[in-house]
Structure 1
Amino acid sequence: MDILNQLLAGFATAATPINLLWAFVGCIIGTAVGVLPGIGPAVAVAMLLPITTKVDPTASMIFFSGIYYGAMYGGSTTSILLNTPGESGSMVTAMEGNKMAKNGRAGAALATAAIGSFVAGTIATVVVTFFAPMVAEYAVRLGPPEYFLLMVLAFTTVSAVLGKSTLRGLTALFVGLAMGLIGIDQISGQARYTAGLPELMDGIEVVLIAVGLFAVGEALYNVLYEGRTVETQNKMSKVHMTKLEWKRSWPAWLRATGIGIPFGTIPAGGSEIPTFLSYATEKKLSKHKEEFGTTGAIEGVAGPEAANNAAITATLIPLLTLGIPTSNTTAILLGAFQNYGIQPGPQLFDKNSSLVWALIASMYLGNVMLLILNLPLVGLWVKLLKIPKSYLYAGILIFSTLGVYGMRQSAFDLVLLYAIGLLGVVMRRYDFPTAPVVVGMILGPLAEAQMRNAVSIGEGSWTVFVQRPGSLVLLVIIASVLVLPRAVRLFRKAPA
């Protein structure tokens, strides 16, 4: 009953005119970002992070969340009509959705994607509502050794899972950790790694790193390396489903939701894995196997889209309760929280209860908004695809530059922004994941403080990390994350 009362209070906050407006604008921007190929929610949120200096924390977190799950809705539009996924989670949707569009069934594909996203997103939000407080209630009992190892777990999982190579992921993480050490040591008060530059005494702004790596880096990479491609668009048809298509879609939505939610709550590499699993499940269970890969099976669109949205919504559980980001965008959202001096984790539900419950309530409202925006207005979103890429990326660079300069009116910040942007280009070019950099920079100083506290508790002995059951379990999990994938690969390669 206490959870329901807090949720009602959250609705009262989220339903104020100003917060509804921020949710609506976030959903619109998110959908547009999803529709435009190559611009993901991480880029959009990073580019808009500078607004956190001016906007109320609750309003801005509602806004950023709207962008996050709005992009998942919009990504299906380009997947179906252009065979170009707007987001990596929409890759599987393109496989059957585009074939449906080529056979004159684009409207049905878009309808099942939008409604499936709404169903999965709503169910996942209910899970967040009831499950997140339980996780926070347990996690609040953890001490410094457990907190430190939780952050090490975040480092290892994000680095090992969010890239194609664990070595590259860990390299990116250490770059972030090094950036996090720049500035004044929080215990000794000594300046560290500032190279004698007074501008670095306060450290590097998380906003600057995020905007440089994701927004500027993405824009520069596309300008330098992406060739001009000719895109052919399938014709739109009326956005609706027949009775048979409804009958084939709803079981796929429910199955996919069950697949997507668990993957969102663990650091398992975003929504790509559950979407592929959902597609494989639907293909195996379908009574219309002949449509897969030929004319396009509606279950192959309904399932992956629902799994995608369920996983994306569920990523908020580890972010809010443990402070662990499990995707690029949640890493940026973690930075947004920290920009307000708020640290996601077990204490969040006690210290910032009104913000958390308003955010959760806004997810229910946002799902309704997105359903309304995506079904009747899909023709409007399709027109965004006519914007020339050169204008689009020029706009991103201008907006990012103005946003970062507006924070402190510092020319040094702009030099640093474009230096980090070039680092982002190099990382993208050589397949280094960028999320571990942000995670390392944000959580690095916190991990350092918790490690020092833990060693103090152990009176200088490092055995404190194996003496407590909680920390010992976390050590085993960390070792498993690093060792098991390699062990599985070696086992598969071994001769029978």
Structure 2
Amino acid sequence: MPARFANGSGAPMDKIIYLFEALSVANLGLAFVGVLAGIVIGALPGLSATMAVAVLVPFTFTMNPASGLIVLGAIYTGAIYGGSYSAILVNAPGTPSAIATTFDGFPMAKRGDGALAVSLATLASVIGGLVGALLLMFLAPPLATVALAFGPPEYFWLAVFGLTLISALSVGNLLKGLIGACFGLLLSMIGVAVIGADVRFTFGSQTLIGGIDIVAGLIGLYCIPVLIDLVATKDPHLKVASDSSGFRLAESFGILMRQKFNALRSAVIGTVVGILPGAGGSVASLVSYSEARRSAKNPENYGKGEPGGIIATEAANNATVGGGFIPTLVLGIPGTPPDAVILGALLVQGIKIGPQLFTSQGSIVYTFIFGLLIGTLLMLPIGLVVGRYAYKSIISIPKAALVPTIAFLTVIGSFAIHNNLHDSAVMLGLGVIGWFLNRAGFTPSPIVLGLVLGQIAEQGFVQAYLIGNAQQNVLGQFFGRPISLAIAAFAILTLFYPLIAKAIGARRARKSDVDQTVESRKADV
């Protein structure tokens, strides 16, 4: 064996060898099966990518390390993308990273453009996955240093930034959006504290000691209100468009080409956010959605079935797959929960994690990265075929059969998280509360985001406060670090963005009125 291949130097000739190894029949078959299984699992609410990867990890121990990583990466990629199906078709995100996909995906499906929405989600997911994997290949060591610069204060401000983005998503209903986020923050504080182990807001209930599980809360707040509305109304759950049986690929490509900058920008945002441990696809998709809306020519269309919203969210959350592997492989710090499971599999296989991994065991790493790229490309034909039949099936199933099926999946999905009926009870309780809140004009997304980001914010704040108190410089911890100040500035800008945009719009309207008055007077003269 040549010396370069043995030490995995990552030279161009070596990378060609690793590419052909990833293209072997066995690895292609594993990537295909992994993507298909991930899509199916991700489309079912409650059966997350983490669960899929964790269940299948033991089966990879009999494979060689590269093949085992390829199948795990394919499942992970497919599951993140699969969450878009239920988000678009039944307004119930299959995974937390698909929360923002519901904003425009379900409105598109309701007006008969579900097939177009699924095709757009597929194309955007492939672009995001490719960008994330390519950046993983070429920029892993330098990008991993970004993660090292993030301490507790940065994570606190990052969570605050994520919460303030709700204001940009709640134009016209800002107060209710912020109230919903605060309610989500209160839900995140139930149970044992992240630091200090204080028991809070359990009211003597053993069920609430473990807190509100994020997946159970997501299923309850999104799925149960939809089910209640389906039962309460006679109207069809989705419109049947005359061309709903097709892929609508030509139209999807045309929209994507017009939104190419949005897709690439969102993929880069997703990769960068994926590098930050604990942030994940839900934060990445929200940041990308907010940025897409801010820079759009017609931001008022977002939330009403705007294709750019789907492109932004799906490109971002799939890019976090490659981004999350950067700190996992280079620093041994998992970027997302599925990365933590895969990291465990690497350690069991005897692979030493660290910057030297790309040289000492380059054959494994680069074969895996090429396998991740291949799995992402396979997601295009598999996703289009599965999405086509998923849409046709959803619109053709009568509500009398659809509602019990989804209800069964929600109960099973929430139970399967910890094999605990308490999670199912919490899910149902939050679902009923969510339905009443929906009737009062409170959407579930700010509540879920508050629940997701609350623990990140609390942990970052308490840790930063303790460190600052020990150094007798608490304010310096929060306001004396360049990255913290930058994130805080973005948070302030985002919080007041609706007011700024409204003021700018009013000023332009006044200027237009003045110009029209001047022109009319000139015409009279």
TM-score, normalised relative to structure 2 = 0.62
Among 394, 398, 406, the alignment partner of 2:408 is 398
Matches within 5 A, 1:225-264: 227-228=235-236, 231-234=239-242, 253=256, 256-264=259-267
Q: Which residue of 1 aligns with 2:81?
A: 69
Give the CA deviation at 1:252: 6.6
- In structure 1, the residue corresponding to 2:207 is in which secondary structure? helix
Q: Deviations over 1:261-291 (max 9, x none)?
A: 21351666655975998998xxxxxxxxxxx
The corresponding residue for 1:190 is 198
Do the aligned residues in 2 keep the contact of 1:76 with 1:305 (CA within 8 Å)?
no
1:450: how far off?
Answer: 2.9
Determine if contact 1:6/1:357 at 8 Å carries over to the other structure.
yes
Counterpart of 1:177 (choices 163, 168, 185) is: 185
In 2, Cα distance between the equivalents of 1:358 and 1:154? Answer: 35
Aligned partner (choices 493, 511, 515) of residue 480 of structure 1 = 493
Q: Provide closer, same or farther for how the CA distance between residues 252 and 179 of structure 1 changes in structure 2, counting only shifts above 3 A.
A: closer
Q: Distance in 2 between matches of 1:64 and 1:45?
A: 15
C-alpha distance in 1 between matches for 2:489 and 2:294:
29
CA distance in 2 between partners of 1:493 and 1:179 (Å): 38
Which amino acid counterpart does residue 205 of structure 1 have in structure 2?
D
Q: 1:490/1:234 Cα in 2 relative to 1: closer, same or farther (>3 Å)?
A: same
The 5 Å alignment of 1:454-493 reads 454-459=467-472, 461-493=474-506
Q: Report if aligned partners of 1:27, 1:70 keep a CA contact under 8 Å in 2.
A: yes
* Corresponding position of 1:370: 379
Q: In terms of mean alpha carbon deviation, does 16-25 or 393-402 score higher?
A: 16-25
Partner of 1:120: 127
Instruction: Tell me how far apart the structure 2 counterparts of residues 396 and 12 of structure 1 sit (CA, whole Å).
Output: 38
Q: Offset of 1:145 from its aligned partner? A: 2.3
- Residue correspondence of structure 1 range 48-63 to structure 2 within 5 A: 48=48, 51=51, 55-56=55-56, 62-63=74-75
Alignment partner of 1:46: what SS?
coil
Unaligned runs of 5+ in 2: 1-8, 58-68, 91-100, 270-283, 299-305, 329-334, 345-352, 359-363, 512-525
Kindly indicate whether the alpha-carbon contact (under 8 Å) linking 1:278 and 1:307 is maintained by their aligned counterparts in 2: no
**What is the correspondence of 1:78-477 to structure 2 with a 5 Å cutoff?**
88-89=103-104, 120-121=127-128, 123-126=130-133, 128-129=135-136, 130=138, 134-157=142-165, 159-164=166-171, 165-224=173-232, 227-228=235-236, 231-234=239-242, 253=256, 256-264=259-267, 265=269, 274=292, 310-314=315-319, 364-373=373-382, 380-381=389-390, 383-384=392-393, 385-408=395-418, 410-429=420-439, 430-432=441-443, 433=445, 434-459=447-472, 461-477=474-490
Q: CA deviation at 1:418?
A: 0.9
Q: 1 CA distance for matches of 2:442 and 2:368? A: 34
Q: How far has the Cα of 1:211 moved from its partner?
A: 2.5
User: Is 1:26 aligned to 2:38, yes or no?
Assistant: yes
Counterpart contact for 2:184–2:454, Cα < 8 Å: yes
Looking at structure 2, the residues matched to 77 and 202 of structure 1 have their Cα atoms a distance apart, in angstroms, of 32
Structure exhibiting the larger radius of gyration computed from Cα positions: 2
Provide, for residues 118-174 of structure 1, a one-character-per-residue CA deviation record: whole Å limited to 9, x for no partner.
8735653455534676443223123332232222222222x2244443333332322
Would the aligned equivalents of 2:122 and 2:380 in 1 still touch at CA under 8 Å? yes
Does the residue aligned with 2:452 lie in a helix, a strand or coil? helix
Q: Counterpart of 1:481 in structure 2: which amino acid?
A: T
1:285 corresponds to which residue? none
Structure 1's 190 and 3: CA in aligned 2 closer, same or farther, altered over 3 A?
Answer: farther
State the one-letter code of the partner of 1:263: S
Query: Which digits, 9 at most, give the CA deviation of each residue in 1:452-479, with x for residues without a partner?
Result: 3343354263243222222222222221
Structure 2 vs 1, CA of residues 258 and 445 (structure 1 numbering), >3 Å: closer, same or farther? same
- Equivalent-residue separation in structure 1 for 2:135 and 2:435 (angstroms): 36
Q: Which amino acid aligns with 1:313?
A: N
After superposition, the C-alpha distances for 1:347-383 in whole angstroms (9 at most, x for unaligned) are xx969x9999999766533433333335667764454
1:296 alignment counterpart: none
Q: What percentage of aligned pairs have identical amino acids? A: 19
* Separation of aligned partners in 2, 1:406 and 1:316: 24
CA distance in 2 between counterparts of 1:419 and 1:426 reads: 11
1:375 and 1:210 map into 2 onto residues whose CA distance is: 26
User: Structure 1 regions of 5+ residues with no counterpart?
Assistant: 34-43, 79-85, 281-299, 324-332, 343-348
Check the 8 A contact 1:11/1:362 in 2, yes or no: yes
Number of residue equivalences: 427
CA distance in 2, matches of 1:236, 1:127: 34
Q: Provide the rounded CA distance (Å) in 1 between the counterparts of 2:176 and 2:341.
A: 28
1:217–1:421 CA contact under 8 A, matched in 2: yes
Distance 2:476 2:415 in 1: 47
Change in CA separation of 1:371 and 1:50 when aligned onto 2, cut-off 3 Å: closer
The letter for the 2-side match of 1:397 is A
AA paired with 1:370? Answer: M
Deviation of 1:419 (Å) = 0.6
* Maintained 8 Å contact 1:466/1:472: yes
How many angstroms does 1:205 deviate by?
Answer: 2.6
TM normalised by structure 1 equals 0.65
1:46 pairs with 2:54? no
SS of the residue corresponding to residue 149 of structure 2 reads: coil
CA distance in 2: counterparts of 1:6 and 1:450, whole angstroms: 42
Q: Distance in 2 between matches of 1:92 and 1:73?
A: 13
Q: Distance in 2 between matches of 1:373 and 1:387?
A: 22
**Does the 8 Å CA contact 1:212/1:420 hold for their aligned counterparts?**
yes
Q: Tell me how far apart the structure 1 counterparts of residues 52 and 203 of structure 2 sit (CA, whole Å).
A: 29
**Quick one: structure 1 residues 194 and 363, their matched pair in 2 at CA, closer, same or farther if it must change by over 3 Å?**
same
AA matched with 1:68: I
The alpha carbon displacement at 1:195 in A equals: 1.1
Cα RMSD (Å) of the superposition?
5.3
